[in-house]
Structure 1
Amino acid sequence: MKNMGAAILLILALTLTFGTNLYGTEAVDILDALDGVPYRIQIPGNWNRGLVMYAHGYKMPGRPWSPMPENIGQVFLDRGFALVQSGYSRQGWALEQAVGETEALKNHFQKQYGSADSTFITGHSMGGLITLATIEIYPEAYDGAMPMCGPLAPAMFFFKDRVFDMVVTFEAIFGDKVPVEYRPLMEAAILPRAAVQQALDAMPGMATKYALHWGIREKDVAGTIAMNQFLLKELEERARGNPFDNTGTIYMGFGQIDGLNDKILRYVADPGAVEYIRKHYTATGEIEDPVLALHTSYDAGVPTCVPCYYAKMSALKDNADLFVQLYVEAEGHCNFTAEQTGRVFDMLRGWVATGQKPEAGLLE
């Protein structure tokens, strides 16, 4: 009876320590839902009791969620870490849903499998900003963050000064060459890439100046403008109003076009919509844990000037010692290899373990 009592006490102690479901040595791969929100939990057979939470990027509203590519996920599993991903309850610019639902999923994981010895968060694209928001809001819950190819800046800055301004300057310069059914661009239900390309082809010299002004390749302009217009329309629907105001913006460049500012359509922001964008999300630079960011040297959608903004923000908050920006020589959005992803993750783990901050710059 004494031995049986001791065994019961041991089971109770393990239950309190490791959660209600005791984890064994078998690998786990679960696709399920938490309060209607899809998720995936993977635990390798050699689990080191480390946890990586993953935040996925922007997906078109209405399209189904799919977990991260297997070769990228394997980077973390091969290192003995559990990998947990939320599909979010709503797609599009999902900061409102993603931050809370990712945190709820982490708590669910801990109840099922116990608290992790070390916890990291990472994500691509919009998931990079979700990663940043999470580490700012829940610093006590994580040991470090690895945002990849994300707009690491206040959302209003990224969307107004980049996405919105690209669209309104495009219309001012090329609008007469865009089919009338798509004008004004901000009121069109959709702007086909072909319609944008048609306008660019009609003014090839100005198309070159426009691309140079915004720091992107000419071949990428049409796709970027079409995507930007879609993003703005989705944000307007989500925020229940136009969040962007350019009544006081003075535009310049493009070879100093005469009367450029007179040609640009002006918009007044809805205060409620402005508040929505600021809430979801305004990065602050307030971090308490190491943040190691990765970007490509050329990205038409999220140019390097955007994530570099966070280096300035963290420095202004006296947190420069907690943020490092790395880049790889590559073209495209989130164009990283699994090997590069693994190396950066190892650098972050080493930084957390030793306190030695990696050097910013090129990932050799």
Structure 2
Amino acid sequence: MRTLLSVVLAAVLCAAAAPPAAGATPDVPDDQPLPGYTIDNPPLAPATVHGRPSRVLQGVHEHAAFAIEVPPRWNGELVMWAHGYRGDTTVLTVDPPAYGLRQRLLEQGYAWAASSYYANGYDVRAGVLSTRALVTRFTREAGRPHRTFLAGVSMGGHVTVRSIEQYPGVYDAALPMCGVLGDHELFDFFLDFQLVAQDLADLPAYPIPADYATSVVPKIKERLGLTGGAEPGNELGRQFRDVVTELSGGERPGAAEAFAYWQDALFGLAGADGGGTLAQEPGRVATNRDTLYRPATPVNVNASVQRVDPADPVARRTARLTEVPAVSGRIGVPVLSLHNLGDNFVPFSMEQHYRADLARHGKSWLLVQRAIRAVGHCEFSAAEAGAAWDDLVRWERTGKRPQGDDVSNRAVVAAPSYGCRFTDPSAYATGTRPLYAPCP
């Protein structure tokens, strides 16, 4: 499968040569981007914090652009912000904390810092290394923080949970939102979607051909009755929907609506391998060799689906920090995560995989998870993100574990009111939330 296409942030494909990985670069000054990249880091206006301006620092550190903001009365603590997937653009950019968190953090006395990473694509390694390097740069510019928190969205969630494993002792707590917490399982899901659709439509097309979107997908959609409306038009299409529902987190409120909302985007993620790096072609780690598909009627998909081994088995199996690294679940700090219940771009099942990883190592007590009733990707209100942040800080301070949602109990997740507990009722009329019934 080709590099996943950003649905939220448009991927701009550039003709420039792909830059080499860090460590394989010729002599490039630390304050310059790697070959093939440029930086767009316009001045960030200071925020007003309790009537006074913040202090903003910007620049380039170890080939990555950065922004740092320190409030007038700094409490001595730091929040690192990890951005999501940028596509294959060769322009490095920086995001401040989203969902109103930038102002919230500053008003609470926290400084924050964010890196562009030294490379784009699906390069978690770049995110982990650049974010850690920026902690060092912050210390040099503003002083050593007493505590360092880490928050990230989407691919930045993958950066976040790998970072707390990669650098134990550096980060004190983590807030991944809409994160790729299941590491390789995300790319397995993208592969599963195509292979099951092809199998049920009796249109084998793997490896993905160059004309897949124009020649194969329309035929698949016609045979599965996916040509219009929220409900598939035949029994095969309904089985496909149900299989995708299981793979993305199981039966849950809004699952049918999520399938209809995301199906075209998921078909659009497949394409021929372009021969680039692993960061450009992360689907090389994907496999369905041992996947059990449910339901298996009217077609026994498990007996008929094409089975695919990872194109890059070394990247799949290694524990090293690669562009698409594994997440072991061996953590030592509190983690509070948020995830949209109907997100099928980075599906809710990511939370279930991460919960299982931590459980294998006896670390479940360090994880609190919250489901938000929306179908979009990273669709959170300021109230939802702010409450999660405040609860994480309180947990880290006091040791009192906050409340969360059970993501593993199938009966609990399938309940009609699931996700209501932490969903902001005032945001109901916005975005995709009206696809859900209002919470009581």
Query: Same-fold call, TM > 0.5?
Result: yes
Verify the 8 A CA contact 2:67 2:114 in the aligned structure 1: yes
Following TM superposition, the consecutive aligned residue runs of length 4 or more in structure 1 with deviations greater than 6 angstroms are: 230-235
Mapping of residues 78-227 of structure 1, within 5 Å: 78-153=107-182, 155-160=183-188, 162-174=189-201, 176=203, 184=205, 186-189=207-210, 192=213, 196=217, 199-204=220-225, 205=234, 206-215=236-245, 216-227=258-269
Verify the 8 A CA contact 1:156 1:282 in the aligned structure 2: yes
After superposing the two structures, state which structure 1 stretch, 285-294 or 211-220, moved more.
Answer: 211-220
Equivalent in the alignment of 2:370: 326
Aligned pair count reads 332
Once the two structures are superposed, residues 135-193 of structure 1 have per-residue CA deviations (whole angstroms, 9 ceiling, x without a partner) of 1222211211011111212x233322x121112222233474xxxxxx84544458548
2:297 aligned with 1:255 = yes
Partners of 2:276 and 2:294 in 1: CA distance: 27
Equivalent in the alignment of 2:331: 287
Partners of 1:277 and 1:196 in 2: CA distance: 36
Mapping of residues 313-352 of structure 1, within 5 Å: 313-352=357-396
Partners of 1:36 and 1:289 in 2: CA distance: 29
1:259–1:54 CA distance, 2 compared to 1 (3 A): closer
Q: CA deviation at 1:110?
A: 0.7
After superposing the two structures, state which structure 1 stretch, 334-343 or 27-36, moved more.
Answer: 27-36
After superposing the two structures, state which structure 1 stretch, 334-343 or 301-310, moved more.
Answer: 301-310
Structure with greater proportional helix content:
1
1:189–1:108 CA distance, 2 compared to 1 (3 A): farther
2:64 aligned with 1:37 = yes
Equivalent in the alignment of 1:12: none
Return the TM-score normalized by structure 2. Answer: 0.67
Return the TM-score normalized by structure 1. Answer: 0.80
Identity level (%): 26
SS at match of 1:306: helix
Verify the 8 A CA contact 1:239 1:277 in the aligned structure 2: no
Structure 2 unaligned regions, length at least 5: 1-51, 226-233, 246-257, 406-420, 424-440
Equivalent in the alignment of 2:88: 61
Q: CA deviation at 1:67?
A: 1.1
After superposing the two structures, state which structure 1 stretch, 268-277 or 291-300, moved more.
Answer: 268-277
1:290–1:194 CA distance, 2 compared to 1 (3 A): farther
Once the two structures are superposed, residues 277-297 of structure 1 have per-residue CA deviations (whole angstroms, 9 ceiling, x without a partner) of 974322112111111111122
SS at match of 2:380: coil
Whichever residue aligns with residue 49 of structure 1, its letter is G
Whichever residue aligns with residue 95 of structure 1, its letter is V
2:422 aligned with 1:363 = yes
Partners of 1:202 and 1:240 in 2: CA distance: 29
Whichever residue aligns with residue 318 of structure 1, its letter is G
Q: What is the CA RMSD across the aligned residues, in angstroms?
A: 3.1
1:277–1:341 CA distance, 2 compared to 1 (3 A): same
After superposing the two structures, state which structure 1 stretch, 138-147 or 270-279, moved more.
Answer: 270-279
1:305–1:48 CA distance, 2 compared to 1 (3 A): same
Q: CA deviation at 1:35?
A: 2.5
Verify the 8 A CA contact 1:284 1:313 in the aligned structure 2: yes
Partners of 1:210 and 1:278 in 2: CA distance: 35
Verify the 8 A CA contact 2:187 2:282 in the aligned structure 1: no
Q: Report the structure number with the largest CA radius of gyration.
A: 1
Verify the 8 A CA contact 2:85 2:121 in the aligned structure 1: yes
Q: CA deviation at 1:207?
A: 3.0
Whichever residue aligns with residue 289 of structure 1, its letter is V
Partners of 1:308 and 1:355 in 2: CA distance: 24
Partners of 2:287 and 2:275 in 1: CA distance: 15
Once the two structures are superposed, residues 181-214 of structure 1 have per-residue CA deviations (whole angstroms, 9 ceiling, x without a partner) of xx84544458548973663145312333312221
